[in-house]
Chains A and B, each alone.
Chain A
Amino acid sequence: MVVCKPTRRQMLATMGVGGTLAAWSGCSGTMPGPDTTGQPLTPPEMPDDLDLRLLNRITFGPTADQFEEIAQIGYDAFLEEQLNPERIADTATDDALRSLPTLRQPLAELAQAEEPDFVAEELVLARVIRATQSNRQLLERVVEFWTDHFNIYHAGDAIKILKTIDDREVIRANALGNFRDMLHASSRSPAMLVYLDNATNLAGAPNENYARELLELHTVGRNSGYVQEDVEELARALTGWSVVQDGLAAGSFVFRANLHDDGPKQVIDLSLPASGGMDDGRMVFDYLAGLPQTARFIATKLVKHFVAESAPQSVVDRVTDAFLTSDGDMKTILREVFARESMRLAEPKFKRPLHFISDIIRRTGARIDESEELGFWLYVLGHVPFLWPAPDGYPDVAEHWAPGLLNRWNFATAYSFGDLVGARFDVLARVQREGDYAPAAVVDLWDRMFFAGQMPRDERAALHAYITDDPEDEGRLIYESFAMAISMPSFQWH
């Protein structure tokens, strides 16, 4: 079973089992050997064309219109336009969202909602509609990033309502604004204060939950030098930051001075004098937002998400500098993330399930009008928006998502049926429109639609062979060829 390979020694070393290397070096067929462990994925090749790379990075799947537009106005103008979404008309999306009233309702009205599940479902549907249909694709990709960064789980009635406010006023309002502002907004977000329990963080008996994740996940990052005492001091500084429980203002942020610990505190290098009241929190958020560790942590995460999992050092350095010199201005930071120098170093990223599904829907031009069935697929694929329970957000590494391949293949088949409620695509009509039923022509069609004409040769050949294996079978020619095309390994990456 075990095959000796030149990389074996290297692999074992990586696994930290070098000590047993000697025992295994004889290499016989029955030796215990971790032959699939720790192996990196081998993604397809990246397209050379930087325009195409950029489109893949700032959209949930590029459409024919976008290919045309970037060819016309060029890389820089296209990026600049996407960085200023208010300049992009998006009436179709606005129309689609109009049927979701809770998106716009003020807290006082939402708080009266008798069905918090309904509020949560509308937010999920809005997420899918925006990802698949919005012309402001970069904004939506960035919103997705910050939604994971400041993750809040749709658990419990209060959060099912309050996350809609958080999405609107914290994430979307600041996604292309300033990191400092977003951090301040998040710290007063009732959904966050409930989710990470700061709402019950009291003088004399602090609750560390929010303080810990604030350092580890939201700002400076793990192993950046803070210790348990810093977590405890930070928790003390945030005592009294809470949420109104009852009455007309229920669900809104409140600072309860009487529950605030007014002693002096020391958080990392920041000294907070006694009797700071709410200024403790304000100062500490300003302090954390300005720390170089925060800039580097956020920059690295952005680069991993948008450029390459390996986070090339030169790109991280440039993005970190942009973060520090602009004091967290998102557009300045993103210009560096998406600069040509960055895109030249881009590596294929494994599509997360929402991205995989959105990509198919966008390239086929289907319109979303219902989320239940799409919700089912996102559920079996493990990627329903706002349903990751831990505060670290949905994973952003290929290893996490690769084992879910079977349901990607099944989604492809279900979608090819044209019966997916809420996002219908008529495969047959599309082929009929082309009017050429030769297997090679059908393969060409899917190649253009899903691979920008760059489908790997072996995948093309295999797909062609699959169709011609039974030339009388129209099912293979039309529907299954479509499903198999989007089930190909190279389509799982972007």
Chain B
Amino acid sequence: MQTKTPTKNGCPEYHALQRRSFLRTLGQASAAAALVTPVWLPKLVFAQSENSERDLLVCVFLRGGADGLTLCVPHAEQAYYDARPTLAIPAPDSVLSNRATDLDGFFGLPPALARLKPIYDARQLAIVHATGSSHPTRSHFEAQDFMEAGTPGDSTVVTGWLARHLHSVREADDVVLRGMAASTTIPRTLGGAPKTVAITSIDEYGLVGREETRDAQLDLFREVYGSSNDVLSAAANNITTTTSLIDRIKSSPYTPAGGAAYPTDGWGEGLKTIARLAKADVGLEAACIDLDGWDTHAEQGSLNGELNGLMDRFARGLEAFHADMADRIDRTTVVVLSEFGRRVDENGSKGTDHGHGNAMFVMGGHVNGGQVITDWPELSPDALDDRRDLAITIDYRDILSEVLTKRAGNTSLEAVFPGYAPEFRGVV
């Protein structure tokens, strides 16, 4: 039995955390990690053999229902201007200053997305229009659940399409991290995914506390959280294996390549985190990141308000990620989804209500870019879905299926989108 009385003086480490010094302490922890990790270790080499044939898939989710008719403007269609008297983006040949940048004579990008045009021109960005999830719901929550599960109309499926993809391709030997979500939790898209963690920032990820007992603590967590397959046990296991890996990655400082200027917000930091993990070559295959705030029912501000600001952040983020990932863009595919598009007619609040068909963005080195892929259903009242919304003529699963098959080595789409027979559209 221990009889001496411990004192705080005996544990100087515990004085280290001073008021609001949490982040600083984490910085010290990484400095300490640098001392114990050989600095000459060039890159962590894992799993090259298996994963080098598979792209990193980045799934961006625009939550709230992004207005696809602003993201990719059908400027050649008069019905668009009739439906959007205050919200329409002027056509490229307009005399107005805030006009769209033409893409193909029919569609155009709004001013806030014009910075994506060079990527489009370099044929590394394609837009798919009049696409989405076939289920008619106008509920955000139901639409997101269905889209992320990959099974519109079937609410019994609780796992995500991207998670099932990861399960249905062979896992590389010794890989410890296959998926990540750049957020505080894991979205439905990756629900049930193997070796996947939520991580908002490399520098802030890790166990706090004493270096000398870190491994013992990780062992304890592994023991008590067990190795069963349930969500909590899996979360604990994924975290315990990932912290050591991240400790090594954060020991070398990160400078984005190509002069990439990420937006200085959670979205920009999240994209940078994805790029940094990708470049550490740890075997990362899938990443999810959200951009919130697209539910623009009032004062939408397509040109100078809320939506304009969101699109600007979105475009700056994609542009920076593209520049940063230039040396591996050939092994990267980014898909951008949103649960539904918005009503064709604007409402009386200078906003738009929940709609149906939408636009998708697909970016990457092997994307058949420089085109808007669509079977355009038109915007005349008779052509609209439910006489209200842009119809869906391309199921979003067609696009995802093609990407998974051609860029991610998937040979069992039935496991990802059960009961669905996709039609490839030539997106990659």
Contact = CB atoms under 8 A, between A and B. Distances in A.
B23 to A, nearest CB: 9
A483 B224 contact: no
B304 interface: no
A474 B7 CA distance: 8
Contacts of B192: 34, 36-39
A316 B216 CA distance: 45
B234 interface: yes
Given A37-B192, A39-B230, A480 B207 contact: no
B198 A17 contact: no
B191 interface: yes
A381 B184 contact: yes
A480 B14 CA distance: 10
B170 to A, nearest CB: 6
A36 B216 contact: no
Given A32-B169, A419-B17, A458-B224, A207 B207 contact: no
A413 B208 contact: yes
Contacts of B412: 20, 23, 32
Contact of B209 (A200, A216, A437, A483): A483
A492 B353 contact: no
A156 to B, nearest CB: 10
Nearest to B225: A489
A450 interface: no
A489 B348 contact: no
Q: Which applies to chain B's interface (DSSP): helix, strand, loop or mixed?
A: loop
Interface in B17-69: 17-20, 22, 63-64
Contact of B156 (A16, A392, A406): A16
B238 to A, nearest CB: 8
Interface in B253-296: 292-293, 295
Interface string B1-13: 1111111101101
Interface in B208-225: 208-210, 213, 216-217, 220-221, 223-225
A177 B348 CA distance: 36
Interface in B166-208: 167-171, 181, 183-186, 191-194, 197-198, 200, 204-205, 207-208
Q: Which of B63, B157, B293 has the most CB of A within 10 A?
A: B157
Contacts of A487: 221
A6 interface: no
Contact of B19 (A216, A421, A478): A421
- Interface range for A: 35 or more
B170 A479 contact: no
B169 A201 contact: no
A205 B298 CA distance: 12
A428 B8 contact: yes
A350 to B, nearest CB: 8
Given A16-B418, A216-B139, A477 B6 contact: yes
B37 to A, nearest CB: 20
B242 to A, nearest CB: 9
B142 A222 contact: yes
Interface of B: 1-8, 10-11, 13-15, 17-20, 22, 63-64, 138-142, 151, 154, 156-159, 163-164, 167-171, 181, 183-186, 191-194, 197-198, 200, 204-205, 207-210, 213, 216-217, 220-221, 223-226, 228-236, 239, 243, 292-293, 295, 297-299, 346-351, 353-354, 386, 388, 412, 414-415, 418-419
Closest 7 CB pairs of A and B: A205-B348, A37-B192, A382-B184, A200-B349, A474-B6, A32-B168, A209-B297
7 contacts: A17-B414, A20-B412, A32-B168, A37-B192, A390-B141, A466-B220, A477-B2
